[in-house]
Amino acid sequence: MDDDSARGSARDRSAVARGAARPTFDDWTAVPERARAASGTVYLVGAGPGDPDLLTVRAHRLLETADVVFHDALTRETLVDRIPRSVDAVDVRKRAERRTPQSEINALLVERASDGDAVVRLKGDDRFVFGRGGEEAKHLAERGVAFEVVPGVSSVIAAPGLAGIPLTHRGISSRFTVITGHETPEKDGRSLDWAAIADEIAGGATLVVLTGDPNHSGHQFLGKVERAVEAPVTVVPGISSLQMAASRARTPMEDAAVVTLHRSGDLGPALDHLADAAGDRHLLVLPRPFDWMPGDVAELLVDSGADPALDALVLERLTHPDERVTRTSLGDLRESAGGSDRGSTPYSDLSVLVERAGGE
Protein backbone atom coordinates (compact mmCIF):
# COMPACT_ATOMS: atom_id res chain seq x y z
CA MET A 1 0.00 0.00 0.00
CA ASP A 2 1.44 3.41 -0.97
CA ASP A 3 1.61 6.37 1.44
CA ASP A 4 -1.42 8.13 -0.06
CA SER A 5 -3.56 5.00 0.24
CA ALA A 6 -2.42 4.47 3.80
CA ARG A 7 -3.30 8.03 4.71
CA GLY A 8 -6.68 7.66 3.05
CA SER A 9 -7.42 4.50 4.99
CA ALA A 10 -6.37 6.19 8.20
CA ARG A 11 -8.73 9.07 7.49
CA ASP A 12 -11.56 6.62 6.83
CA ARG A 13 -10.90 4.80 10.10
CA SER A 14 -10.68 8.12 11.93
CA ALA A 15 -14.07 9.18 10.58
CA VAL A 16 -15.63 5.99 11.91
CA ALA A 17 -13.85 6.35 15.26
CA ARG A 18 -15.19 9.86 15.66
CA GLY A 19 -18.68 8.43 15.53
CA ALA A 20 -20.07 8.57 12.02
CA ALA A 21 -23.60 8.66 13.43
CA ARG A 22 -24.44 5.04 12.70
CA PRO A 23 -25.14 1.83 14.64
CA THR A 24 -22.20 -0.32 15.63
CA PHE A 25 -23.83 -3.38 17.25
CA ASP A 26 -24.42 -6.40 15.02
CA ASP A 27 -28.07 -6.68 16.01
CA TRP A 28 -28.72 -3.17 14.75
CA THR A 29 -28.08 -4.14 11.15
CA ALA A 30 -31.81 -4.72 10.74
CA VAL A 31 -32.50 -0.96 10.83
CA PRO A 32 -34.92 -0.26 7.94
CA GLU A 33 -33.29 0.95 4.73
CA ARG A 34 -34.96 4.34 4.52
CA ALA A 35 -34.05 7.98 4.70
CA ARG A 36 -33.28 9.07 8.23
CA ALA A 37 -36.33 10.63 9.85
CA ALA A 38 -34.30 13.10 11.89
CA SER A 39 -32.28 16.03 10.63
CA GLY A 40 -30.70 16.58 14.03
CA THR A 41 -28.10 14.48 15.82
CA VAL A 42 -28.05 13.00 19.32
CA TYR A 43 -24.71 12.96 21.13
CA LEU A 44 -24.43 10.35 23.87
CA VAL A 45 -21.84 12.08 26.03
CA GLY A 46 -19.97 10.64 28.99
CA ALA A 47 -19.28 13.36 31.57
CA GLY A 48 -16.48 11.49 33.32
CA PRO A 49 -16.13 10.75 37.04
CA GLY A 50 -17.36 14.09 38.38
CA ASP A 51 -14.47 16.55 38.17
CA PRO A 52 -15.25 19.13 35.44
CA ASP A 53 -11.54 19.23 34.58
CA LEU A 54 -11.79 15.59 33.48
CA LEU A 55 -14.50 16.39 30.91
CA THR A 56 -13.17 15.65 27.44
CA VAL A 57 -12.51 18.47 24.98
CA ARG A 58 -15.09 16.99 22.60
CA ALA A 59 -17.75 16.91 25.34
CA HIS A 60 -16.99 20.49 26.36
CA ARG A 61 -17.40 21.72 22.77
CA LEU A 62 -20.71 19.91 22.38
CA LEU A 63 -22.09 21.47 25.58
CA GLU A 64 -21.27 24.90 24.16
CA THR A 65 -22.93 24.30 20.80
CA ALA A 66 -25.92 22.08 21.66
CA ASP A 67 -29.53 23.18 21.34
CA VAL A 68 -30.61 21.04 24.28
CA VAL A 69 -28.84 19.03 27.00
CA PHE A 70 -30.69 16.24 28.79
CA HIS A 71 -28.79 15.61 32.03
CA ASP A 72 -29.19 14.09 35.49
CA ALA A 73 -28.81 15.62 38.95
CA LEU A 74 -25.15 14.76 39.47
CA THR A 75 -23.94 16.10 36.12
CA ARG A 76 -26.00 19.23 36.80
CA GLU A 77 -24.12 19.74 40.07
CA THR A 78 -20.67 19.49 38.53
CA LEU A 79 -21.20 20.82 35.01
CA VAL A 80 -23.97 23.42 35.24
CA ASP A 81 -21.46 26.23 34.78
CA ARG A 82 -20.23 24.63 31.54
CA ILE A 83 -23.66 24.81 29.89
CA PRO A 84 -24.38 28.24 28.33
CA ARG A 85 -27.62 29.95 29.30
CA SER A 86 -28.66 29.87 25.66
CA VAL A 87 -28.81 26.06 25.79
CA ASP A 88 -32.01 24.36 26.94
CA ALA A 89 -30.85 22.29 29.94
CA VAL A 90 -33.38 19.64 30.98
CA ASP A 91 -32.98 17.56 34.16
CA VAL A 92 -34.42 14.14 33.34
CA ARG A 93 -33.31 12.39 36.52
CA LYS A 94 -36.36 13.56 38.45
CA ARG A 95 -39.56 15.32 37.54
CA ALA A 96 -42.26 16.03 40.11
CA GLU A 97 -40.39 13.84 42.62
CA ARG A 98 -40.24 10.79 40.39
CA ARG A 99 -37.54 9.31 38.24
CA THR A 100 -38.10 9.76 34.54
CA PRO A 101 -38.57 6.30 32.95
CA GLN A 102 -35.96 5.37 30.36
CA SER A 103 -38.72 5.05 27.76
CA GLU A 104 -39.62 8.73 28.25
CA ILE A 105 -35.98 9.79 27.95
CA ASN A 106 -35.67 7.82 24.72
CA ALA A 107 -38.79 9.52 23.35
CA LEU A 108 -37.45 12.98 24.27
CA LEU A 109 -34.20 12.32 22.42
CA VAL A 110 -36.04 11.28 19.27
CA GLU A 111 -38.49 14.19 19.51
CA ARG A 112 -35.83 16.90 19.77
CA ALA A 113 -33.63 15.34 17.10
CA SER A 114 -36.67 15.17 14.80
CA ASP A 115 -37.02 18.93 15.28
CA GLY A 116 -33.52 19.32 13.83
CA ASP A 117 -31.80 20.05 17.15
CA ALA A 118 -28.30 19.16 18.23
CA VAL A 119 -29.15 17.02 21.27
CA VAL A 120 -26.69 16.12 24.04
CA ARG A 121 -27.61 13.26 26.37
CA LEU A 122 -25.20 13.85 29.26
CA LYS A 123 -24.52 11.32 32.01
CA GLY A 124 -21.63 10.79 34.36
CA ASP A 125 -18.80 8.36 33.73
CA ASP A 126 -18.73 6.63 30.32
CA ARG A 127 -22.04 6.05 28.56
CA PHE A 128 -21.30 2.42 27.76
CA VAL A 129 -20.21 1.39 31.28
CA PHE A 130 -23.44 0.79 33.25
CA GLY A 131 -24.74 4.05 31.76
CA ARG A 132 -27.61 2.72 29.60
CA GLY A 133 -25.90 4.22 26.59
CA GLY A 134 -26.37 1.01 24.63
CA GLU A 135 -30.12 1.12 25.21
CA GLU A 136 -30.35 4.71 24.01
CA ALA A 137 -28.12 4.07 20.99
CA LYS A 138 -30.18 1.04 19.98
CA HIS A 139 -33.43 3.02 20.33
CA LEU A 140 -32.07 5.83 18.15
CA ALA A 141 -30.69 3.45 15.51
CA GLU A 142 -33.98 1.59 15.20
CA ARG A 143 -35.73 4.90 14.48
CA GLY A 144 -33.18 6.15 11.99
CA VAL A 145 -31.91 8.94 14.25
CA ALA A 146 -28.32 10.00 13.71
CA PHE A 147 -26.18 9.70 16.83
CA GLU A 148 -22.60 9.88 17.99
CA VAL A 149 -21.05 8.29 21.08
CA VAL A 150 -18.63 10.55 22.98
CA PRO A 151 -16.66 8.46 25.50
CA GLY A 152 -16.07 9.73 29.03
CA VAL A 153 -13.30 9.05 31.54
CA SER A 154 -14.67 6.05 33.40
CA SER A 155 -14.70 5.93 37.19
CA VAL A 156 -13.66 2.29 36.79
CA ILE A 157 -10.17 3.69 36.28
CA ALA A 158 -10.43 7.23 37.66
CA ALA A 159 -11.79 6.48 41.15
CA PRO A 160 -9.20 3.84 42.11
CA GLY A 161 -6.47 5.95 40.53
CA LEU A 162 -7.40 9.06 42.53
CA ALA A 163 -7.52 6.89 45.66
CA GLY A 164 -4.01 5.61 44.95
CA ILE A 165 -5.11 2.07 44.07
CA PRO A 166 -3.58 0.62 40.88
CA LEU A 167 -5.90 -1.79 39.09
CA THR A 168 -2.91 -3.68 37.74
CA HIS A 169 0.48 -3.99 39.40
CA ARG A 170 3.52 -5.94 38.33
CA GLY A 171 3.77 -9.15 40.30
CA ILE A 172 0.36 -8.71 41.97
CA SER A 173 -2.46 -8.22 39.46
CA SER A 174 -2.37 -8.55 35.69
CA ARG A 175 -6.07 -7.96 34.98
CA PHE A 176 -9.24 -6.53 36.50
CA THR A 177 -12.95 -7.36 36.50
CA VAL A 178 -15.79 -4.82 36.62
CA ILE A 179 -19.25 -5.62 38.00
CA THR A 180 -22.27 -3.60 39.11
CA GLY A 181 -23.37 -3.50 42.72
CA HIS A 182 -26.87 -2.40 41.75
CA GLU A 183 -28.48 -4.95 39.46
CA THR A 184 -31.90 -4.12 38.09
CA PRO A 185 -34.71 -6.26 39.56
CA GLU A 186 -36.19 -6.59 36.04
CA LYS A 187 -33.07 -8.38 34.81
CA ASP A 188 -33.63 -11.77 33.17
CA GLY A 189 -31.41 -14.70 34.01
CA ARG A 190 -29.00 -15.36 36.84
CA SER A 191 -27.42 -12.71 39.03
CA LEU A 192 -23.70 -12.33 39.68
CA ASP A 193 -21.76 -15.59 39.88
CA TRP A 194 -19.81 -15.07 43.09
CA ALA A 195 -17.97 -18.37 42.82
CA ALA A 196 -16.61 -17.35 39.42
CA ILE A 197 -15.77 -13.87 40.71
CA ALA A 198 -13.92 -15.36 43.69
CA ASP A 199 -11.94 -17.55 41.30
CA GLU A 200 -11.00 -14.44 39.32
CA ILE A 201 -9.69 -12.72 42.45
CA ALA A 202 -7.83 -15.84 43.56
CA GLY A 203 -6.24 -15.92 40.12
CA GLY A 204 -4.78 -12.44 40.56
CA ALA A 205 -7.52 -10.15 39.23
CA THR A 206 -8.59 -6.86 40.82
CA LEU A 207 -12.36 -6.52 41.28
CA VAL A 208 -14.08 -3.16 40.71
CA VAL A 209 -17.69 -2.84 41.92
CA LEU A 210 -19.58 0.20 40.63
CA THR A 211 -22.58 1.06 42.80
CA GLY A 212 -23.55 4.71 42.32
CA ASP A 213 -24.13 5.27 46.05
CA PRO A 214 -21.25 4.30 48.35
CA ASN A 215 -23.25 4.78 51.55
CA HIS A 216 -26.21 2.62 50.64
CA SER A 217 -25.56 0.16 47.83
CA GLY A 218 -21.81 0.14 48.43
CA HIS A 219 -21.76 -0.59 52.15
CA GLN A 220 -24.72 -2.93 51.77
CA PHE A 221 -22.75 -4.77 49.10
CA LEU A 222 -19.46 -4.69 50.99
CA GLY A 223 -20.06 -7.72 53.20
CA LYS A 224 -21.12 -9.82 50.23
CA VAL A 225 -17.93 -8.93 48.38
CA GLU A 226 -15.69 -9.59 51.38
CA ARG A 227 -17.27 -12.97 52.09
CA ALA A 228 -16.99 -14.03 48.46
CA VAL A 229 -13.44 -13.00 47.64
CA GLU A 230 -11.64 -13.14 51.01
CA ALA A 231 -9.46 -10.22 49.95
CA PRO A 232 -8.96 -6.59 51.06
CA VAL A 233 -11.85 -4.33 50.05
CA THR A 234 -11.82 -0.53 49.84
CA VAL A 235 -14.88 1.69 49.31
CA VAL A 236 -14.10 4.82 47.27
CA PRO A 237 -16.90 7.42 47.64
CA GLY A 238 -18.32 9.06 44.54
CA ILE A 239 -16.16 11.87 43.27
CA SER A 240 -18.81 14.61 43.29
CA SER A 241 -19.06 16.66 46.49
CA LEU A 242 -22.65 15.58 47.13
CA GLN A 243 -21.74 11.91 46.80
CA MET A 244 -18.84 12.37 49.21
CA ALA A 245 -21.05 14.23 51.68
CA ALA A 246 -23.65 11.46 51.54
CA SER A 247 -20.97 8.90 52.31
CA ARG A 248 -19.46 10.90 55.20
CA ALA A 249 -22.93 11.52 56.69
CA ARG A 250 -24.07 7.95 56.03
CA THR A 251 -27.18 9.32 54.36
CA PRO A 252 -28.28 7.35 51.26
CA MET A 253 -28.67 9.65 48.26
CA GLU A 254 -31.61 7.60 47.03
CA ASP A 255 -33.50 8.52 50.22
CA ALA A 256 -32.64 12.22 50.04
CA ALA A 257 -33.74 15.29 48.13
CA VAL A 258 -30.71 16.72 46.32
CA VAL A 259 -30.79 20.48 45.80
CA THR A 260 -28.07 22.51 44.08
CA LEU A 261 -27.94 26.24 44.77
CA HIS A 262 -24.43 26.63 43.38
CA ARG A 263 -25.48 28.29 40.15
CA SER A 264 -25.97 31.73 38.72
CA GLY A 265 -29.32 33.38 38.12
CA ASP A 266 -32.73 32.75 39.62
CA LEU A 267 -32.86 30.21 42.45
CA GLY A 268 -36.64 30.33 42.80
CA PRO A 269 -37.43 26.74 41.72
CA ALA A 270 -34.58 25.29 43.80
CA LEU A 271 -35.65 27.27 46.89
CA ASP A 272 -39.25 26.14 46.40
CA HIS A 273 -38.00 22.56 46.28
CA LEU A 274 -36.13 23.11 49.54
CA ALA A 275 -39.16 24.60 51.24
CA ASP A 276 -41.41 21.76 50.08
CA ALA A 277 -39.00 19.11 51.40
CA ALA A 278 -38.33 20.84 54.74
CA GLY A 279 -38.40 18.29 57.55
CA ASP A 280 -39.96 15.52 55.46
CA ARG A 281 -36.89 14.07 53.73
CA HIS A 282 -33.14 13.97 54.16
CA LEU A 283 -31.62 16.90 52.30
CA LEU A 284 -28.28 17.21 50.52
CA VAL A 285 -27.73 20.85 49.65
CA LEU A 286 -24.90 22.47 47.73
CA PRO A 287 -24.88 26.14 48.92
CA ARG A 288 -24.05 29.21 46.82
CA PRO A 289 -21.31 31.55 48.03
CA PHE A 290 -22.03 33.78 49.71
CA ASP A 291 -25.71 34.70 49.67
CA TRP A 292 -27.01 31.16 50.24
CA MET A 293 -24.61 29.60 52.71
CA PRO A 294 -25.51 26.80 55.20
CA GLY A 295 -26.97 29.26 57.74
CA ASP A 296 -29.23 30.83 55.13
CA VAL A 297 -30.46 27.41 54.01
CA ALA A 298 -31.16 26.45 57.64
CA GLU A 299 -33.15 29.64 58.13
CA LEU A 300 -35.27 28.91 55.06
CA LEU A 301 -35.92 25.34 56.21
CA VAL A 302 -36.99 26.39 59.72
CA ASP A 303 -39.17 29.19 58.35
CA SER A 304 -40.77 26.59 56.05
CA GLY A 305 -41.77 24.38 58.97
CA ALA A 306 -38.75 22.16 59.65
CA ASP A 307 -38.08 21.35 63.31
CA PRO A 308 -35.14 23.48 64.56
CA ALA A 309 -33.93 20.42 66.50
CA LEU A 310 -33.28 18.39 63.34
CA ASP A 311 -29.70 17.24 62.86
CA ALA A 312 -27.59 19.29 60.47
CA LEU A 313 -24.09 18.58 59.23
CA VAL A 314 -21.88 21.03 57.37
CA LEU A 315 -19.09 19.29 55.48
CA GLU A 316 -16.34 21.62 54.32
CA ARG A 317 -13.46 21.20 51.88
CA LEU A 318 -14.07 17.50 51.34
CA THR A 319 -10.92 15.51 50.43
CA HIS A 320 -8.69 18.50 51.28
CA PRO A 321 -6.14 18.21 54.12
CA ASP A 322 -8.20 20.69 56.18
CA GLU A 323 -11.51 18.86 55.67
CA ARG A 324 -13.95 19.65 58.49
CA VAL A 325 -17.36 18.34 59.58
CA THR A 326 -19.59 20.42 61.88
CA ARG A 327 -22.47 18.57 63.58
CA THR A 328 -25.19 20.86 64.86
CA SER A 329 -28.94 21.49 64.65
CA LEU A 330 -30.93 23.52 62.14
CA GLY A 331 -31.80 26.01 64.88
CA ASP A 332 -28.18 26.61 65.85
CA LEU A 333 -27.04 26.68 62.24
CA ARG A 334 -29.64 29.35 61.47
CA GLU A 335 -27.72 31.77 63.72
CA SER A 336 -25.07 32.18 61.00
CA ALA A 337 -27.57 33.35 58.34
CA GLY A 338 -27.31 36.70 56.66
CA GLY A 339 -23.73 36.79 55.41
CA SER A 340 -22.81 38.38 52.11
CA ASP A 341 -19.07 37.75 51.75
CA ARG A 342 -16.27 35.45 52.88
CA GLY A 343 -15.71 37.36 56.10
CA SER A 344 -19.33 37.22 57.27
CA THR A 345 -19.81 33.44 57.39
CA PRO A 346 -18.03 30.83 59.50
CA TYR A 347 -18.19 28.28 56.69
CA SER A 348 -16.07 27.66 53.62
CA ASP A 349 -17.40 28.36 50.15
CA LEU A 350 -16.56 24.69 49.46
CA SER A 351 -19.23 23.23 51.72
CA VAL A 352 -22.19 20.86 51.62
CA LEU A 353 -25.15 20.89 54.02
CA VAL A 354 -26.80 17.64 55.07
CA GLU A 355 -30.12 17.84 56.95
CA ARG A 356 -31.39 14.58 58.36
CA ALA A 357 -35.15 14.25 58.63
CA GLY A 358 -36.64 12.89 61.82
CA GLY A 359 -33.49 13.53 63.84
CA GLU A 360 -31.90 10.29 62.55
Give the C-alpha separation, 58 to 18, whole Å.
10
Q: What element of type H or E holds 257?
A: strand 256-260
State the average pLDDT over residues 138-157: 94
Eight-state DSSP code of residue 173: B
**pTM, whole model, 2 decimals?**
0.59
State the average pLDDT over residues 291-310: 94
Give pLDDT, residue 317: 81
Give pLDDT, residue 196: 85
Q: pLDDT band at residue 78, thresholds of 50, 70 and 90?
A: low
CATH number of this structure's domain 241-359 = 3.30.950.10
CATH 3.30.950.10 domain span(s) along the chain: 156-229, 241-359
State the average pLDDT over residues 321-346: 89
Q: Which of 111, 110, 117 shows the shortest CA–CA distance to 88?
A: 117
Q: What element of type H or E holds 284?
A: strand 282-286
What is the per-residue pLDDT across 239-261, written as a single tens digit (0 to 9) for each?
Answer: 566 666 777 777 776 677 878 78
* Beta strands 98-99 and 118-123, pairing class: unpaired
Rounded mean pLDDT of the chain?
A: 79
Instruction: Please state the length of the chain.
Output: 360
Highest mean pLDDT among 65-69, 242-246, 273-277: 65-69
CATH number of this structure's domain 156-229 = 3.30.950.10
Give pLDDT, residue 192: 77
- Is 324's pLDDT higher than 70? yes
CATH architecture designation of domain 39-153: 3-Layer(aba) Sandwich (3.40)
CATH 3.40.1010.10 domain span(s) along the chain: 39-153
Q: pLDDT band at residue 204, thresholds of 50, 70 and 90?
A: confident
- Is 28's pLDDT higher than 80? no
Give the C-alpha separation, 336 to 60, whole Å.
37
Give pLDDT, residue 31: 39
Highest mean pLDDT among 92-96, 186-190, 297-301: 297-301
What is the per-residue pLDDT across 230-241, written as a single tens digit (0 to 9) for each?
Answer: 777 776 665 566
Identify the bridge partners of residue 351 per DSSP, sorted by sequence position.
316
Contact 258, 284 (CB under 8 A): yes
- Is 97's pLDDT higher than 70? no
- Is 269's pLDDT higher than 70? yes
- Is 214's pLDDT higher than 60? no
Which of 24-33, 46-55, 279-288 has the least mean pLDDT?
24-33
